[in-house]
Structure 1
Amino acid sequence: MDEWVSLLFNHGFAAVVAFYLLHRMEKKLDLLITVCDRPTSE
């Protein structure tokens, strides 16, 4: 938690929020890429 507070004061609120959201979306983006790369069954 101390790391987040120090990032907040050093880099600004907007940058920390953007980083946090991108970090959370990473797993969902990996799943989306996996699903899109699957061959279609015909």
Structure 2
Amino acid sequence: MKMNGAEIMMECLVREGVETIFGYPGGAIMPVHDAMLKYPVH
């Protein structure tokens, strides 16, 4: 399975037990917002 940087970051956060993250608006962060939908974080 090939993962992009946002998915790798989300996978690491989940493995570390992170349940809640905060985001900010903007075009550069959109891949992270998209990846959040695939992981059990709020």
TM category, shorter: 0.3 to 0.5
Give the TM-score, by structure 2 length: 0.33
| Larger proportion of helix | 1
* Bigger RCO (CA 8 Å, 6+ sep): 2
Give the TM-score, by structure 1 length: 0.33
